[in-house]
Structure 1
Amino acid sequence: MSPLSARLSLGFACAGHAFMHVLSALYLTIVLGLERDWAMSYDELIRLWTIGSLMIGLGAPLSGWLGDRWSDAKMMVVFFLLTGAGAIAAGLADGATALTIGLAVLGLGSSIYHPVGMSWVIKNAANRGRALGVMGIFGSIGIACAALIAGGLTELINWRAAFIVPGAVCMLTGVALFACVATGLVTDRQRDAKPQPGTNRSDAVRAFIVLSVTMVCAGLIFQSTVTAMPKWFGERMTGLVGEGTLGVGGLVTLVYLFASGSQFIGGMLSDRYPLKHVYVMCLAIQIPLLLIASSFAGLPLLVVAGLVVFTQSLQIPAENLLLARHTPDKHRGLAFGAKFVLSFGVAPLGVQLVALTYGWSVDFWWLFLILGGFATVAVLAATLLPRESAPVPRRAAATPDPLTAPAIGAE
């Protein structure tokens, strides 16, 4: 693999992470405009995203398997085109059924990114924690921009444009990647840039069982928080954001921009310290923040929400590296697919949990109390991970890997 191919692969992987989170989070802000236009209640409308969010998890194993067996780069082309097409279809919907179908296609396309994109980056990076951290920054920026893009386009044009415009840009990016693959500028790497140490079968089984529990809990926390945040801010920050979706979208954007660097920090910690210690610490600090989150309004709420999201993202590089460490290289895409069945497959439960708890009290007090309980379960489970030593420093390579060059700054 050429240095240019490695650089382009990392660039498209980062762009794809941003697009995945932009497009899959658009509806969470657009729904506030649909409440007015379609005269439907919030809990009715948010349930239309249930099938789409479910597809993000269910499609992941097949996507990872195809990436392992066929091509990471070509599967990424499919990701850009299918996800963009789903967003455009949602924007053209003329009723609840058509909107549900469009969101389902969007979710199916989005399911490709994480199992394929994670494997793609790990294959090409020498400093894997740093690489995943940088890629995570783009994902966090995507989540942040989703609320601003959705709110802004809904206010300035209409809710349809909020789907169609970013969907079209995503498809154009897919066309660009297709051209790079077709001309040989982007090729698939057959072996890892940095081979990883092996693991025994018993530790691998134990790690996967433990990580299954922690990933389900973390997935529920993330999905519930990102689903509830626009409505949470709209009700608790009325003096700051007014009645429109643009103000709410701007504050959600601010929170996720603040948290965007957390995965880079988590990645650096994961390269430097034992992964188990980093993972348990990152999960544990979420518990008190979740338990107090519903007690604030106005500017204090903005601060607490930023810390909640920051700590949620901090754990992700360690989690991904723990999974990669205990998985054979040839099955890595499938393993990441299984992970995202768990972490994104619980998204419908997160959507339903938000709707259910909001229906109980027309507030999110019960939601954050339950999420604090999930964080506690995750910490207790993570302490059962196999022991490991601190990473051994890597020897200097005779030929620098393109992804370790300071000019890229992207491991």
Structure 2
Amino acid sequence: MNRASTVITFINIAHALDHLFMLIFATAVLTMAVEFSVPFGELLPLALGGFIAFGALSLPAGWLGDAWSRRHMMAIFFIGGGLAVAATGLARNPTEIAIGLTAIGAFGAIYHPVGTAMLVSHADRLGREIGINGVWGNMGVALSALLTGALAQAFGWRTAFVVPGLASVGIGLVFMAMVRNERRMGSKASNQARIGKAEMMRVFVILLVVAFALGITFNAVTVALPKLIEERIGMFGSAPAVIGTIGFLVYLCGALAQFTVGNLIDRYSLRMILLPVGFAIAPLLLLASYASDWALLAAATGVVVVMYAQVTINDAMTGKYTSDEWRARAFAARYTITFTVGAGAVALVAALHRTGGFTLTLQVLAAVCLIIAVAALFFPDDRPVREDPA
């Protein structure tokens, strides 16, 4: 049997790589726009195919993880995804870039339904492990801005794809050598919630509604953040490395929030945590729509913090209320909604930015996030099993 700590380590690394891969383009596009002499708003939709594949292929990926092998699917993620990312760095025109980004999304679709299910099945403390895993994913998002900005400025945007792609292939080979194929039947950390069957359907409806609203907002904010920093936070300059560093620091705060929320989930009911998080997103987005410089930096950091806290809560919901043999498919259903509607967020940002800039874009997202606040009001009070934090 595999050591749980070894499996969880690789799953955490995979989470960081998954978000890194999906967001390299969001920062690299600033340099690409200059090289190809194409405006930002026209290049951004090239990522649409990747985000569609990221969501649409989650369900078959989750099914294969449950029915075939989660370990084999993760090996395909590391190696296939890495090759797709590296190949995108060799693209010669926008059409080839779009094809490469779609391939990245297809392989990236494997991680969330399969990797998260694998994590939950090896976890002893669900909230803590989900929180730590969320930190890794958030660091992948942060590094997508920092690493891409630095590599693009020093060596060109192509290097920003090739280097992490080849690194993933190497990690995948080590994963295959150290993790054997196995089927686990759950862990003591899962299924801790104590709610009635009549309330179970309400939980899943709320989860899917929140997944819809958060999917749009999450993808829109992560795709738009580098450009938002370039336009409205000018006190540090607008070099790619500077933009990447600011983005990294913003996402670092989000990572700390995920770790904190993950630990709180082991101690308090999900409803108690969901309510303040659910009500905070819309006001912060509205504030960010009018702000600039330091005020925008504070508002944008707040938006990222509550978004990632909500992601951690959603993962805990799914992990608590599903059995191991169906867990990858349950995560897949949730992520299919999150990432499929998130694909539309790319086109939404491009269209709203052309129409009313980021003022209109963030105001529309604030309106969407009112759904999360309403859903939080209807979430039932579960009774978690308290554990000794030591």
- TM-score band by shorter chain is over 0.9
In structure 1, the partner of 2:234 is 238
* Higher deviation after alignment, 201-210 or 367-376: 201-210
Whether 1:108 and 2:106 are equivalent positions in the alignment is: yes
In structure 1, the partner of 2:251 is 256
Amino acid in the other structure paired with 1:311: V
Count of aligned pairs between the two proteins: 389
Tell me if the contact between 1:46 and 1:351 (Cα under 8 Å) persists in the aligned partners: yes
In structure 2, the partner of 1:228 is 224
* Higher deviation after alignment, 211-220 or 272-281: 272-281
Q: Choose which of 200, 204, 207 in structure 2 pairs with 1:204.
A: 200
State the alpha-carbon separation in 2 of the partners of residues 318 and 347 from structure 1. 18
Amino acid in the other structure paired with 1:192: S
How many Å apart are 1:126 and its aligned residue? Answer: 1.5
Q: Choose which of 371, 377, 382 in structure 1 pairs with 2:371.
A: 377
In structure 2, the partner of 1:275 is 270
State the alpha-carbon separation in 2 of the partners of residues 22 and 54 from structure 1. 17
Q: Choose which of 153, 164, 178 in structure 2 pairs with 1:166.
A: 164
State the alpha-carbon separation in 2 of the partners of residues 118 and 337 from structure 1. 10
How many Å apart are 1:221 and its aligned residue? Answer: 1.0
How many Å apart are 1:378 and its aligned residue? Answer: 1.3
Whether 1:340 and 2:338 are equivalent positions in the alignment is: no
Amino acid in the other structure paired with 1:204: M
Whether 1:328 and 2:323 are equivalent positions in the alignment is: yes
Q: Secondary structure at the match of 1:346?
A: helix
How many Å apart are 1:388 and its aligned residue? Answer: 2.1
State the alpha-carbon separation in 1 of the partners of residues 91 and 183 from structure 2. 37
5+ residue gaps in structure 2? none
How many Å apart are 1:334 and its aligned residue? Answer: 0.3
Query: After TM superposition, where is structure 1 displaced by more than 6 Å over at least 4 residues in a row?
Result: none
Amino acid in the other structure paired with 2:337: L
In structure 2, the partner of 1:7 is 5
The equivalences for 1:2-401 within 5 A come to 2=2, 5-181=3-179, 184=180, 187-197=182-192, 201-242=197-238, 244-361=239-356, 363-389=357-383, 391-394=384-387
State the alpha-carbon separation in 2 of the partners of residues 286 and 23 from structure 1. 26
CA distances 1:288-328 after superposition (whole Å, capped 9, x unpaired): 11111022222222122111101111122221121223323
State the alpha-carbon separation in 2 of the partners of residues 356 and 147 from structure 1. 23
Q: Secondary structure at the match of 1:327?
A: coil
CA distances 1:378-402 after superposition (whole Å, capped 9, x unpaired): 111232233323x1224x8xxxxxx
State the alpha-carbon separation in 2 of the partners of residues 298 and 209 from structure 1. 39
State the alpha-carbon separation in 2 of the partners of residues 298 and 386 from structure 1. 40
In structure 2, the partner of 1:401 is none
Amino acid in the other structure paired with 2:86: I
How many Å apart are 1:200 and its aligned residue? Answer: 5.3
How many Å apart are 1:201 and its aligned residue? Answer: 4.6
Gap change, CA 1:195 and 1:88, over 3 Å in 2: closer
State the alpha-carbon separation in 2 of the partners of residues 115 and 241 from structure 1. 39
CA distances 1:18-63 after superposition (whole Å, capped 9, x unpaired): 1011111100000000110000111110000000011111111111
Q: TM-score, normalised by structure 2?
A: 0.95
Identity %: 31
Tell me if the contact between 1:80 and 1:174 (Cα under 8 Å) persists in the aligned partners: yes
How many Å apart are 1:351 and its aligned residue? Answer: 0.6
5+ residue gaps in structure 1? 397-403, 407-411
Gap change, CA 1:387 and 1:359, over 3 Å in 2: same
Amino acid in the other structure paired with 1:374: V
State the alpha-carbon separation in 2 of the partners of residues 15 and 147 from structure 1. 17
How many Å apart are 1:274 and its aligned residue? Answer: 1.0
Amino acid in the other structure paired with 1:113: Y
